[in-house]
Structure 1
Amino acid sequence: MDKDLLQEKFAHILDTEILSEISKIGIFKTFKQNDIIIDVNQPLEYIPLILSGDIKILREDQNGNELLIYFLEAGETCAMSLTCCLGTPKSKIRAVAEKDSSLIMVPVENMKNWFHNNVSWREFILQSYQIRFDEMLNTIDNIAFMKMDERLYNYLKSKAMLNGSENINIKHQDIAEDLHTSRVVISRVLKQLENENKIKLSRSKIEIL
């Protein structure tokens, strides 16, 4: 089943030689919702390839507060963990399972060798960097230039796209932690968005209109 998912999610960009090697040396792992996959300051010996589920990537400040950087879906990897592998032995990010997820963990040594020796792997890594770089720029723009109602609405639309549904089951406190603000602020802005007919609120559920 895991090998089938590997083929399904990565065959469009990785060649059969690399997929075969990943199947042999990779470690298949499953995580429940809210499990920490990679933590801040954790030694990085593997990079994750996501087979199913969604992962959120967070940064942590000196006071332990978290800021959402971007989401990852099946068929993707984390550019932040790639960068850490190449430059430092410890992680600078926290990766948390947004929902039940399965991954295959690839040893760092292989990642480096493949980058120089395999065109499809190199293109995959460079493409991953570009996509994540654009998303980080978008996150910076949101923080620097957007008002909270715009940030929150963009966040909700991203969650809906990941879930494949206009209905989002989430607590106000969880949103507040992702957007690095307070639950009171989130509740107020959600009500504002509802008054603007952009969303509909119900208990622990938000519908994008």
Structure 2
Amino acid sequence: MANNLLEQKFAHTLDNDLIKEISEKGILKNFKKDDIIIDINQTLNYIPLLLTGDIKIIREDNEGNELLIYFLEAGDTCTMSLTCCLGTTKSKIRAVAEKDSTLILIPVQNMQKWFHNNESWRNFILQSYQIRFDEMLEAIDSLAFLKMDERLYKYLKNLAMVDETKTISIKHQEIAEDLNTSRVVISRLLKKLENENKIRLGRNKIVVI
């Protein structure tokens, strides 16, 4: 199963010998929606490759307030966990399953060896760093320059893109937690977006138009 999923998601980026080795060395794990995959201050002995599902990467301040940084889709890895593994530091992020997800966990020693010995792995890791760096810059720009209604609409469009559907099943409280604001504010802004014909609201569902 692992080898088939790896070939489906990584054949265009990793060479066949490496895919076979990842299948042999990696640990296949399944997570349910809302499961914590990596937690803040966790010591990481592996890096995750996402085979199916979606994961959201979250930062937390000293008061426990959470802020969504970016989403991971099938075929991605979490570069923040890569950094922690390479630097042998504890995790600074929380990775939560946005939906039921399957991952293969690669031991740190293999990840480091492949980085030096395998060009396709090295290119994949460097490209992943660039993508995540761009997404973090985008998140910073949103915080600095966008009003909350613009941030909300951008969040909904990104979520729809990740889920590959225009209909998002989500509660107002979940959105509020991801955007570090109150449910009341989110409900008011969702109604505003609906009045602007950008979305349609249903019971725990939002259609992005």
Q: TM-score interval w.r.t. the shorter chain? A: over 0.9
- Residue 85 of structure 1 and its aligned partner are, at CA, apart by 1.1
Name 1:14's counterpart in structure 2: 14
* Residue type at the aligned position of 1:37: I
Matched, 1:81 2:77: no
Task: Trace 1:1-209 onto structure 2 (pairs within 5 A).
Answer: 1-209=1-209
The share of aligned pairs that are identical, in percent, is 71
Task: Give RMSD over aligned pairs.
Answer: 0.7
- Residue 89 of structure 1 and its aligned partner are, at CA, apart by 2.9
Determine the C-alpha separation between the residues in 2 that align with 1:190 and 1:128: 33
Q: Which segments of structure 1 move beyond 2 Å, counting only runs of 4 or more?
A: none
1:151-190 C-alpha deviation (Å, 9 max, x unpaired): 0001000111111111111000000000011111101110
Structure 2 unmatched ranges of 5 or more: none
Where 2:175 maps in the other structure, the secondary structure is helix
* Residue type at the aligned position of 1:62: N
Determine the C-alpha separation between the residues in 1 that align with 2:127 and 2:22: 19
- Residue 28 of structure 1 and its aligned partner are, at CA, apart by 0.2
Determine the C-alpha separation between the residues in 2 that align with 1:23 and 1:5: 10
Determine the C-alpha separation between the residues in 2 that align with 1:95 and 1:13: 23
Where 2:192 maps in the other structure, the secondary structure is helix
Asked if 1 retains the 8 angstrom alpha-carbon contact of 2:69 and 2:136, the reply is yes
1:70-105 C-alpha deviation (Å, 9 max, x unpaired): 000000100111111112331111000000000000
Determine the C-alpha separation between the residues in 2 that align with 1:130 and 1:56: 18
Determine the C-alpha separation between the residues in 2 that align with 1:83 and 1:182: 32
Determine the C-alpha separation between the residues in 1 that align with 2:16 and 2:5: 14
Asked if 1 retains the 8 angstrom alpha-carbon contact of 2:55 and 2:98, the reply is yes
- The number of aligned residues is 209
Where 2:47 maps in the other structure, the secondary structure is strand
Determine the C-alpha separation between the residues in 1 that align with 2:160 and 2:128: 22
Structure 1 unmatched ranges of 5 or more: none
